[in-house]
Amino acid sequence: MKTRQALSTNIPIRMNKKLTFLLGAAVSLMLGSCQAGKTVADKQAERPNILYIMTDDHAFQALSAYGHPVSQLAPTPNIDRIGENGIRFDQGFVTNSLCGPSRAVMLTGKHSHINGFEHNSSVFDGSQETWITKLHDQGYETSVIGKWHLVSEPNGFDFYKILDDQGEYYNPNFITAEGEEQIEGYATDIITDLTIDYLEQQRDKDKPFAMLMHHKAPHRNWMPALRHLNKFDSVEFPVPATYFDKNEDRTAAREQMMTVYRDMYEGHDLKMSNEYGSSDYRYDPWPHVGRDRMTEEQGKAWDAAYRGKNDAMHQANLNEEELALWKYQRYLQDYCATIASVDESIGRVLDYLEKTGLAENTLVVYTSDQGFYLGEHGWFDKRFMYEESMRTPLLMQFPGKIKAGSTSDALVQNLDFAQTFLDIAGVEASDKMQGQSLVPLFEGQTPADWRKSLYYHFHEFPGFHSVKRHYGVRGERYKLMHFYYQDVDEWEFYDLEKDPQEVRNAINDPEYKEEIAMMHEELAKLMVQYELEPFDTWKEKFKKPFSGPKNKLGPWDPAEKKKMDKRRKAWEAKQKAKKEAAAK
C-alpha cells in the first residue's frame, strides 16, 4: 500500500517579498480550490437521505409498538426500534384503503380523485409531479425496490427493481429497466438483500438518496418463510369481541365478501389444499399458485409443515362455530409469521445503516399502505372507513431532528408524506399537493392550527370483496360516512370515544343531532378544500349501472376505461419489447 510522503521542510527561512507573495497566492489558490470542491461535497453530504419502508396490509394491531394484544403474542422488536429512536404516530390514517390508490397518494400528495388512481384497475399517470421526481431533479439518487403495483413504469427513478403486479412470496419475478427476471428465494428476504446491496454497491455515494423499500408481506395469502412455518402453532390469539358481528343495521357491512369464516379460500388462503391435507370444507375458486411456484425442496418443507396440522383439524370433526374459530387462528398464525420475516428485514436494514454511519443523516420511515382487519367484525382485508383499515402504523426516526421516544396524537395521513419529505430535503412542495408537512410534529408537539379532521373516499365498487363506495370525515372523536352506489344510499355516524369498535350506528340517535350536523358541515368543508363537487351534483352517475364496456371488476365509465386502457397497453407493449430484446 502506498503511503503519502511528508512535505519537504527544506525551505529557506528567509525569502524575498516577491517569492513570499507568489507562494502565498499559490497556497491561497490551492486552499480556495480545495474548499470550493469540499463545499459542494459537504452540501451534498449534508442533505438528508430518505428511506421509506412500506409493507402491504400491516395492521397496527400487529405491531408491538402499539401495544395491541395480538402484537404482544407476536412482537416486532426491530420495527419498534424506529419508534424508540424517533416518533410513533398514534393517529396515522390513509385516504383510500387500497394498495394501488394508497401508493399513488403517497407519491403525489394528492387525493385519488385528483391523481387519477382511484381503484386497483387504474393505471398511474407517471407524467404528473411526485416528491420523487422533484427530489430527482434536485440531485437526489432515487430508487424503488419491491412492490410497485401502479401498472405504469416508475418515473423519476434512477433505479427500480419491482415485483410483477402483486408479486409472489416464493421465487418472485422482478421487473427492471432491462426486462424481467425470476429470483429464487423468499420475497421479503430478497427485497432486503437487494436494498442493502443497492445501498452498499450500486448507488452514487456522492449523492443523497431517496429510496422506497416496498415489501409484499403481509399481503394475502400470508405465506410465511419456511423457517417460520410453525412459529405460532402453539399460540392462541385472542378472538375479537366483534368476530361474529351480524351488522344488522348496516347494509354495506352486511353485504361485504371479506368474512374470515365465510369468504376465505380454503386452499389459497388457509392452506387446506389436497397436497397437504384433504379438505372436506374446500372453497377455493383461486388455484394456489403460490405453492406451484416452489422448488421441489421448498414444496416438501411446506407440505410437511401443513399436512399434520390440517389432518388434525379434519379429525377433530369441528362444528360450524369451532371451524370458524379454527380459521381465525390459522389466519392469524400465518399473517403474523409473514410479519416475523418483515421484522427481521427491518433489523438487518437498521443494523446496516448504523454500521455504515448512514443512520445519522437518514430519515427512516416505517408504515403500511393501509390497515387491515384481524378478525374485527369477522373480517380480513381492508377497504372500509372503519378504524382497522383506515388507520395505519407510522414510525419515523431521524437523529438530531426527531427526539427519541416521541409520540404524536395529531391526525395525519399518507397524503402528508410528499410534503414532509420535500420539507426534510429543503425542496419547495408543489402548490397542487394537498397534505401538510409532518416536520412540525417531530418534537412531539401539535401546532394549534393543526387539522381537526380527515377526508376519506373508497371508490372500488363493483370489485373484490363487494365493499360499497363510500366517503366521509373522521374527526378527533366522531366519524361520519356515506355509502352510495345504485341500491345503497346510507349514512353512518360513530362516537369513537363511547363506541371505539364501531358497532352502533348512531345516525338516527336524536342525542347526537348537533354532532351529526357539525360533521356534515365539516365534510362539506373538506370536499371544497379537496376540490370535490357536492354529492348531489354527481350522485345520478351511480343510480344505475354504466352502459359502457366492463373490466374485470365490473362496469366503469367508458371515457375513464378508454384512458386507462391506453396507458395499460402502452405499458404492456413496452414490457413485451423488453422481453423480446432479452430473448435475442
Domain end residue (candidates: 396, 424, 441)? 441
The rounded distance, in Å, linking the Cα atoms of 474 and 388 is: 13
24 within domain boundaries: no
Q: Same domain for 240 and 180?
A: no
Q: What is the pLDDT of residue 350?
A: 99
> What single DSSP character describes residue 467?
P
Question: Which of helix, strand or coil describes residue 475?
Answer: strand
User: How many domains does the chain fold into?
Assistant: 3
367 within domain boundaries: yes
Domain end residue (candidates: 404, 423, 441)? 441
28: Cβ contacts below 8 Å, ≥ 6 apart: none
DSSP string, 322-340: HHHHHHHHHHHHHHHHHHH
CA separation (Å) from 106 to 29, 148, 184? 47, 12, 30
The rounded distance, in Å, linking the Cα atoms of 328 and 325 is: 5
The rounded distance, in Å, linking the Cα atoms of 108 and 53 is: 17
Which residues span the domain enclosing 560?
Answer: 550-583
Q: Same domain for 81 and 149?
A: yes
The rounded distance, in Å, linking the Cα atoms of 425 and 110 is: 19
Q: What is the pLDDT of residue 571?
A: 53
Residue given cell 396524537 in the structure block: 409
Query: Of 137, 149, 132, 134, nearest to 210 (Cα)?
Result: 132
Q: Same domain for 186 and 89?
A: yes
Phi then psi dihedrals of residue 307, to 5 deg:
-60, -50
Cβ atoms of 104 and 120 closer than 8 Å = no
Q: Same domain for 99 and 64?
A: yes
CATH of the domain at 75: 3.40.720.10
At 328, which amino acid appears? Y
Cβ atoms of 535 and 482 closer than 8 Å = yes
Q: Same domain for 280 and 350?
A: no
Per-residue pLDDT of the chain (584 residues; tens, 9 = 90+): 322 233 232 323 233 333 333 334 443 444 444 444 444 445 556 899 999 999 999 999 999 999 999 999 999 999 999 999 999 999 999 999 999 999 999 999 999 999 999 988 888 999 999 999 999 999 999 999 999 999 889 999 999 999 998 899 999 999 999 999 999 999 999 999 999 999 999 999 999 999 999 999 999 999 999 999 999 999 999 999 999 999 888 999 999 999 999 999 888 899 886 544 444 444 555 556 688 899 999 999 998 999 888 888 888 888 889 999 999 999 999 999 999 999 999 999 999 999 999 999 999 999 999 999 999 999 999 999 999 999 999 999 999 999 999 999 999 999 999 999 999 999 999 999 999 999 999 988 899 999 999 999 999 888 888 899 999 999 999 999 999 987 789 999 999 999 999 999 999 999 999 999 999 999 999 999 999 888 777 667 666 553 333 333 333 344 544 554 565 566 566 657 766 776 77
The rounded distance, in Å, linking the Cα atoms of 419 and 438 is: 8
The rounded distance, in Å, linking the Cα atoms of 367 and 190 is: 19
Q: Same domain for 307 and 368?
A: no
Q: What is the pLDDT of residue 10?
A: 31
Q: Same domain for 321 and 382?
A: no
Domain end residue (candidates: 276, 305, 327)? 327
What is the SS3 assignment for 207-219? CCEEEEEECCCCC
Q: Same domain for 358 and 217?
A: yes
Residue 187 CB neighbours (<10 A) = 26
540 within domain boundaries: no
Residue given cell 373522521 in the structure block: 474
Q: What is the pLDDT of residue 21?
A: 38
> What single DSSP character describes residue 281?
T
31 within domain boundaries: no
Cβ atoms of 213 and 345 closer than 8 Å = no
Cβ atoms of 294 and 276 closer than 8 Å = no
The rounded distance, in Å, linking the Cα atoms of 412 and 365 is: 14
Phi then psi dihedrals of residue 243, to 5 deg:
-60, -35
Q: Same domain for 183 and 288?
A: no
Q: What is the pLDDT of residue 284?
A: 54
Q: What is the pLDDT of residue 574?
A: 64
Q: Same domain for 218 and 259?
A: no
494 within domain boundaries: no
The rounded distance, in Å, linking the Cα atoms of 59 and 37 is: 48
The rounded distance, in Å, linking the Cα atoms of 333 and 313 is: 15
Q: Dig out the grid coordinates for 339 from the structure.
A: 410479519
Query: Of 269, 294, 297, nearest to 283 (Cα)?
Result: 269
Cβ atoms of 90 and 402 closer than 8 Å = no
DSSP string, 241-253: TTTT---TT-HHH
Using CA of residue 504, residue 507, residue 510, residue 513, what is the dihedral sign?
Answer: positive
Residue given cell 357539525 in the structure block: 518
CA angle 333–466–485, rounded 5-degree value: 150
Q: What is the pLDDT of residue 486?
A: 77
> What single DSSP character describes residue 183?
-
Q: Same domain for 360 and 432?
A: yes
At 168, which amino acid appears? E
The rounded distance, in Å, linking the Cα atoms of 65 and 42 is: 36
Q: Dig out the grid coordinates for 188 from the structure.
A: 421479503
DSSP bridge partners of 495? 478
The rounded distance, in Å, linking the Cα atoms of 34 and 169 is: 51
Q: Same domain for 361 and 312?
A: no
